[in-house]
Structure 1
Amino acid sequence: MIKRILLPLSIFLLAAGCSTQTKVLEREAGDFDLKLGTAPTRSMAHGLVEPTTAGAFHGGLDLTHASGWYAGQWSPSAGITNGTSLQVNSYAGFLQQPMDDSLGYELGLIHYDFPELENRDRDGYYAGLNFAGSRLGMALNAAPGRTDSTLFLDLGSVTPFGVGVKVKYGSYALENPHYLPGNRSIEMFNDWSLNISRPWLGIQLDLSYTGSSLTGAECEAYSGQNAQCDALVMFRAERQLY
C-alpha cells in the first residue's frame, strides 16, 4: 500500500480545480520531472488505468525520474460539495518507453483512499506492453467484497484501411453472491467492449459494441465498466468546427 506522504500537497492543489481551464505546471529538477496541475498528467498501463475527475475541486502531482521510475498522487474530489467525499489516488511504477519500435513495458500499483468513508479503500496493480504502435494493458483491482480484473488491447491503426481497433475484457468476482429469484446466485460475471474508429473527410467515425455474460434478470447483479448490462451497439460521427 502506498503511504499518504503527498496528501497535504495534493489537497493544496485542489483549490485550483475550480478554474474553468485545466492547467499543468511542469518543472525539471535534475534528473526529475515534476508536474503539478488540475488535470491528470499520466495514464497507467498504456491507457488502461486513468485518473478521473469526480468533483469541482481536484488536483495532483506527478514525479518522474529519468530512469523511468515515477510516483504521484491525484485527488479527483475534495469532498467539499454536497454528495461528494474526499478521494486520494496514490501511485508508483516504472515505465520503459523506447524511442524506436522495440518492446516497451510498465509495472505499477495504485491505492484508492477514501479518508471519510469506511471499507472503501482499495488497491490496484497494473502492467502494460507496447510494440510497434500496439498496446496491451492489464489491471487487477482488489476492493472489499470484490476483485476486478481487466485486459485492454489497442491495435492502433490496422492496415490496409487505417482502422483503429480497441478491445476490452473485464472479469468480476464477488465475495458475497448476488441472489436472484428461484434460488439462483451470481458470484462472477464478465463484460467486454469493441471499438472501431476511422477518420474520414475530417470526420471521426466510431462504432462500438458492448456486452456482458449476464442477461435478463441477472442484470440486477451487473456493476461492470459498460454503460448497461445488455448488448449495445453505438455509432458516432464527430467533426471539430475549429
Structure 2
Amino acid sequence: MLKPSLLAIATLLATQDVSAQLLQRDLGNYNLQFGTSPARTMAQGLVKPATSDTVHGGLDVSSDSGWYFGQWTPSMGLTAATSMEIDTYTGFKNSFTQHLGYEVGVIHYTFPDLATSDSHEVYAGLTILNTRFGAAFSDDPGRHDSTLFADLGKLPLLDFGVRMKVGNHQLDTPYTIGDGSEVRGFSDWSVQLSRAFMGVDLNLIYSGSSLGGASCEAYSGQNTSCDGTLLLQAQRSLF
C-alpha cells in the first residue's frame, strides 16, 4: 500500500517547477525529504539515483537510528519515448566513531509499463578517516554487474582528490560480434583526479575497458566509451 502514496507525492512534485527541489521536515525521530531532486546517494556515492525525463520525484524517510527507506521515480513514463520506473530502497547507515562509519542497503527496480523483469542491487559503503570505499552488486535481466569504488581524499603535497572505480559485467547470453566471436563478460575502470582552482572544479578522468576494436560492439558498462579515454572537465557553480 506504500507504493501508490509515494507515487502520488512524486507526481504532485513533478507538476511544479522542474528545477531541483527538495522539501524537508522532521517528525519526531524521523526526517522526511521529498522533491524533484534525489534525496540521497548510497554506498558513499557509488549508487546515484538517475533522472531520465522532466517528470520525476520521490520520498526519503530516515530515522535517528540510521535506518532509512524511500522511493525514487526517475521517470513517470508520460511521453511515448519513456516508460515508468520505480526505485524502492532501504538501508542502514551508522558510525562507530567520528572517523569510522558504514552503510548497507538494497534497491529494487520496477518497470510497470514493460514486460522486462524487475531487478535489484545491493550495496555497502565504508568510511575510514578521509577515505571512502563502496561496493555494489546488481542482478539485472540478462546480466550481473559488480562495482568497487574508492575515494582516497586528497593526495599529500599535490592537493589532488583521487577517485577510482572498477566494474565487472557478466552477460547471461554471450554477445556475438561481426567476426563471429563471442563476448561473455568484460571489465571497465576509471580514475579521476580533482582539484579546485580559482572557483572552478577541475576533473581529469581516465577510463577504459577490457574490450577493444570490434569487441567494443558488446560494451555496455559504466563509462561513456569502450576504449581508453582521457577527459578534462571544468565546472563552476553560478550560485
TM, length-normalised to structure 2? 0.94
Match of 2:113 in 1: 116
Correspondence for 1:41: 39
In 2, are the aligned partners of 1:150 and 1:168 still within 8 Å (CA)? Answer: yes
Candidates 137, 154, 158, aligned match of 1:157: 154
- Counterpart in the other structure of 1:193: 190
SS of residue in 1 equivalent to 2:44? coil
Identity rate, percent? 43
Question: Which residue of structure 1 aligns with residue 143 of structure 2?
Answer: 146
Give matches, 1:154-233, under 5 Å.
154-233=151-230
Is structure 2 residue 132 aligned with structure 1 residue 135?
yes
Q: Tell me, in whole angstroms, the C-alpha distance in 2 between the residues paired with 1:11 and 1:232.
A: 42
The secondary structure found in structure 1 opposite 2:166 is strand
Q: Is the 8 A contact 2:18 2:54 kept in 1?
A: no
In structure 2, do the counterparts of structure 1 residues 33 and 98 end up closer, same or farther at CA, with 3 Å as the change threshold?
A: farther
Q: CA deviation at 1:146?
A: 0.3
Change in 2 beyond 3 A, CA 1:189/1:26 = same
Single out whichever of 5-14 and 51-60 deviates more from structure 2: 5-14
Give the C-alpha shift of residue 94 in structure 1.
0.3
The match for 1:62 is: 60
Q: How far apart are residue 135 of structure 1 and its match?
A: 0.6
User: How big is each residue's C-alpha offset from its partner over 1:145-171, in whole Å with a ceiling of 9 and x where there is no partner?
Assistant: 100100111111222221100101110
Question: What amino acid is the match of 2:197?
Answer: W
Match of 2:29 in 1: 31
Residues 164-185 of structure 1 show CA distances to partners (whole Å, capped at 9, x for unaligned) of 0010111000000011344421
Q: Does structure 2 conserve the Cα–Cα contact (< 8 Å) formed by 1:177 and 1:187?
A: yes
* Matching residue of 2:123: 126
The aligned counterpart of 2:235 is: 238
Q: Counterpart amino acid of 1:237?
A: A
Deviation at 1:241, TM superposition (A): 5.4
Distance in 2 separating the partners of 1:83 and 1:120: 19
State the Cα distance separating 1:13 from its structure 2 match: 2.1
Code of the residue aligned with 1:87 in structure 2: it is E
How far off its partner does 1:190 sit?
0.5
- Residue type of the partner of 1:223? S
- Structure 1 equivalent of residue 5 of structure 2: 8
Q: Which runs of 5+ in 1 are unaligned?
A: none
Distance 1:7 1:126 in 2: 26
Partner residue, 1:82 = 80
1:202–1:239 Cα contact (<8 Å) kept: yes
Does the Cα contact within 8 Å between 1:7 and 1:73 map onto a contact in 2?
Answer: no
Q: Does 1:50 align with 2:48?
A: yes
Deviates more, 1:109-118 or 1:197-206: 197-206
Shift of 1:220: 0.6
Letter in 2 for 1:230: D
SS, match of residue 229 in structure 1: coil
- 1:76-114 Cα distance to aligned partner (Å, 9 max, x none): 11001120111100000100146722x100010000100
The 2-side partners of 1:47 and 1:154 are apart by: 10
3-state SS of 1:119 partner = coil
Instruction: Name the CA shift for 1:31/1:240 in 2 (closer, same or farther; >3 Å).
Output: closer
* Alignment partners' CA distance in 1, 2:140 and 2:89: 16
Q: CA deviation at 1:69?
A: 0.5
Cα contact 2:6–2:71 (8 A) shared by 1: no
Moved more, 164-173 or 202-211: 202-211
* Matched residue count: 238
User: What is the TM-score of this pair, normalised by structure 1?
Assistant: 0.93
